[in-house]
């Protein structure tokens, strides 16, 4: 794989926030990649980075069995920054000492006092100043390795920042990557640019060119099939791949009858008419809805839909004489396997419909050009590629579509009712200028009927739940707080305009304990 020559390698020791380090470094205009500590040597060899960052992590370096960095990283002569566990690890591996804090450690907001100048905070912090940082540690360094000196301290960490300017090694006990360390991004930018000497000119335009070259090298003269959903990730992947290999790409858009109002037409008009990208529009409504008849269990629905997607893709691949590659819009958060120390299996909350089962069954190789990016970076790449804001700024939409927003049995009639209500809800959100402030908004048609009175007559119809959440990555979420008159207004419109619904509720559950979708 070709990579930008000027990069930073981040070794992941299992911190919850390792991905944020990559973000901050890229925000500073420097390309960075995360690799699990177990594959440190291969990643270093492949990337030839100009600097290395060692992440935090849950283990304790005081235990001999805890993870270490390969000695080769320290012999390579590149600058190294250790964060929390990373700092402790440098101490342990380079001749210092780490102990378990007798007083239980520091968690949350703390302040460091700067004692000496340091290249890490050149032009930013001065001796004598006090700065807010965010700590989360139970162990602490109590002797630094030869060559290091303490340049800042905090009440719980006498070695809050340590530096060996000769070797360009730095260690911080706090987490500069989180927003609760207000100057953290600038400290990381200083490390990447000032200490490692990188120009900070990495851009999406450069990423686009690198990826195009990579896709051409990988695909050669092969044929690529790309499932297009109308969502941001697959749209950006398809436009990028089309730019690289043109007509060797065929996109398949499956209308499973579980889409939102007008979605099919929008996808077809954008890709066929605007981009001139070969697009097969498969109407598979009958196949999906007949198979879903009588299915009420959420997992059974998801599994049927996942399998039927594969059947449809297989049939379409045969029609074009076979395909060698499957393109997916897989993103960074999907890729990084957080380093697991417990090794225990995690429970399945939901089987996310996953086209990942496809290549094995169809003997195809994956093309995943967005693997290094976060969602907002994908949006930026989409803009760079000239995709309209209508696509780039879209809320995510799950592959199983409305099926998982209709608890109980899914029928065409119920899909139609939900589509109408959902369209009104989203239209009002857009009109109120709230679409971009919300991460995802949708309606859920409940399998509950309630009594109402309309025009002096009795009604006995379905209940609709409205949901809107704010989130950064979908892993955690909070209910969106609508301004005063918004929900009553939408409620009135939906009950007046959609036959079959006579009551509307709003879902205030956060995630956890709820999930975003209801099934």
Ligand X SMILES: O=c1[nH]c(=O)c2[nH+]cn([C@@H]3O[C@H](COP(=O)(O)O)[C@@H](O)[C@H]3O)c2[nH]1
Ligand Y SMILES: NC(=O)CC[C@H](N)C(=O)O
- Nearest approach in angstroms of CB 251 to ligand Y is 43
Integer Cα distance of 142 and 96 in angstroms: 8
| Closer by beta carbon to ligand ATP, 437 or else 451 | 437
Element (H, E) at 136: strand 130-137
Binding-site size for ligand ATP (CB under 6 A) equals 19
Give the orientation angle of helix 375-384 with respect to helix 204-219, to 10 degrees. Answer: 90
Which one of residues 208, 272, 350, 489 is an interface residue with ligand X (CB under 6 A)? 350
Query: Residue 150 in contact with residue 159, Cβ under 8 Å?
Result: yes
Whether the CB-CB separation of 29 and 202 falls below 8 Å is answered with yes
Residue 234 known to bind ligand: yes
Three-class SS of residue 207? helix
The torsion angles phi and psi of 172, rounded to 5 degrees, stand at: -125, 135
Residues 385-424 that bind Mg ion (CB under 5 A): 397
Residue 382 interacts, among Mg ion, ligand Y, ligand ATP, none and using kind-specific CB cut-offs from 5 to 8 Å, with none
Helices (H), 100-183: none
Of the chain, the end-to-end C-alpha distance in Å amounts to 39
Alpha-carbon span 374 to 338, nearest angstrom: 16
Enzyme catalytic residues: 84, 175, 177
Hey, what's the torsion of the CAs at 403, 408, 411, 412, to 10 degrees? -50
- What residues contact 472, with CB distance under 8 A and at least 6 apart? 439
Per CB under 6 A, contacts with ligand Y among 416-435 are: none
Does 293 show up as a binding residue in the annotation?
no
Among 250, 328, 491, 502, binds ligand ATP (CB under 6 A): 328
For residues 251 and 328, give the distance between their C-alpha atoms in angstroms, rounded to a whole number.
11
Q: Of 360-419, which residues contact ligand X (CB under 6 A)?
A: 396, 398-400
Q: How many residues bind ligand X (CB under 6 A)?
A: 13
CB of 164 to ligand ATP, least distance (A): 44
- The nearer residue to ligand Y, 40 or 385, going by C-beta atoms, is 40
User: Which residue number, 229 or 440, has a Cβ lying nearer to Mg ion?
Assistant: 229
Q: For residues 192-231, which are near ligand ATP according to CB under 6 A?
A: 227-229, 231
Instruction: Pull the structure tokens for residue 10.
Output: 């981040």
Residue 494, token pair as written in the block: 């939906």
152 binds, among ligand X, ligand Y, ligand ATP, none (CB under 5 to 8 A by kind): none
Residue nearest to ligand Y (CB): 56
Question: Whose Cβ is closer to ligand Y: residue 342's or residue 390's?
Answer: 342
Q: Which is nearer to ligand X, 68 or 395 (CB)?
A: 395
- Which residues make up the interface to ligand X (CB under 6 A)? 350, 352-353, 396, 398-400, 440, 474, 511, 515-517
Contact positions toward ligand Y, by CB under 6 A?
15, 56-60, 84-85, 136-139
């Amino acid at each position: 794989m070709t990579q930008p020559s000027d990069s930073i390698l981040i070794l992941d020791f299992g911190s919850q926030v390792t991905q944020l380090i990559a973000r901050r470094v890229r925000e500073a205009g420097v390309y960075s990649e995360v690799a699990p500590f177990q594959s440190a040597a291969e990643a270093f060899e492949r990337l030839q980075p100009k600097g290395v960052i060692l992440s935090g992590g849950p283990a304790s370096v005081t235990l001999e069995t805890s993870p270490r960095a390969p000695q080769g990283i320290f012999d390579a002569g590149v600058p190294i920054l250790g964060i929390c566990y990373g700092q402790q690890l440098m101490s342990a591996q380079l001749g210092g000492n780490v102990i378990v804090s007798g007083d239980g450690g520091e968690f949350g907001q703390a302040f460091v006092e700067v004692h000496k100048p340091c290249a890490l905070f050149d032009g930013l912090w001065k001796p004598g100043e006090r700065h807010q940082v965010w700590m989360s540690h139970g162990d602490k360094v109590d002797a630094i390795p030869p060559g290091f000196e303490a340049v800042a301290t905090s009440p719980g960490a006498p070695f809050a920042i340590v530096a060996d300017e000769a070797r360009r090694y730095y260690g911080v006990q706090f987490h500069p990557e989180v927003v609760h360390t207000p100057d953290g991004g600038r400290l990381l930018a200083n490390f990447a640019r000032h200490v490692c000497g990188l120009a900070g000119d990495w851009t999406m335009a450069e990423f686009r060119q690198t990826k195009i070259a990579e896709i051409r090298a990988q695909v050669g003269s092969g044929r690529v099939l790309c499932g297009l959903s109308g969502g941001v990730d697959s749209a950006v992947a398809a436009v990028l791949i089309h730019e690289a290999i043109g007509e060797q790409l065929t996109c398949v858009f499956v209308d499973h009858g579980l889409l939102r109002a007008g979605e099919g037409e929008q996808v077809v008009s954008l890709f066929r008419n605007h981009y001139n990208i070969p697009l097969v529009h498969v109407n598979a409504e009958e196949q999906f809805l007949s198979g879903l008849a009588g299915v009420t269990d959420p997992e059974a629905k998801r599994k049927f839909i996942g399998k039927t997607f594969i059947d449809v893709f297989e049939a379409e691949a045969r029609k074009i004489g076979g395909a060698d590659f499957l393109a997916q819009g897989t993103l960074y958060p999907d890729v990084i396997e957080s380093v697991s120390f417990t090794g225990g299996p995690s429970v399945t909350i939901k089987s996310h419909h996953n086209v990942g089962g496809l290549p094995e069954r169809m003997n195809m190789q994956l093309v995943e050009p967005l693997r290094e990016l976060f969602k907002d970076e994908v949006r930026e790449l989409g803009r760079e590629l000239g995709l309209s804001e209508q696509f780039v700024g879209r809320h995510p939409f799950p592959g199983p579509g409305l099926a998982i927003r209709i608890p109980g049995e899914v029928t065409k009639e119920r899909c139609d009712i939900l589509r109408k209500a959902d369209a009104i809800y989203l239209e009002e959100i857009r009109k109120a200028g709230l679409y971009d402030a919300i991460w995802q908004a949708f309606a859920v048609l409940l399998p509950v009927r309630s009594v109402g009175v309309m025009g002096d007559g009795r009604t006995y119809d379905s209940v609709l739940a409205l949901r809107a959440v704010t989130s950064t990555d979908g892993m955690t979420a909070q209910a969106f707080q609508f301004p005063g008159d918004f929900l009553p207004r939408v409620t009135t419109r939906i009950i007046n305009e959609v036959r079959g619904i006579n009551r509307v509720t709003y879902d205030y559950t956060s995630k956890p304990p709820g999930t975003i979708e209801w099934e």
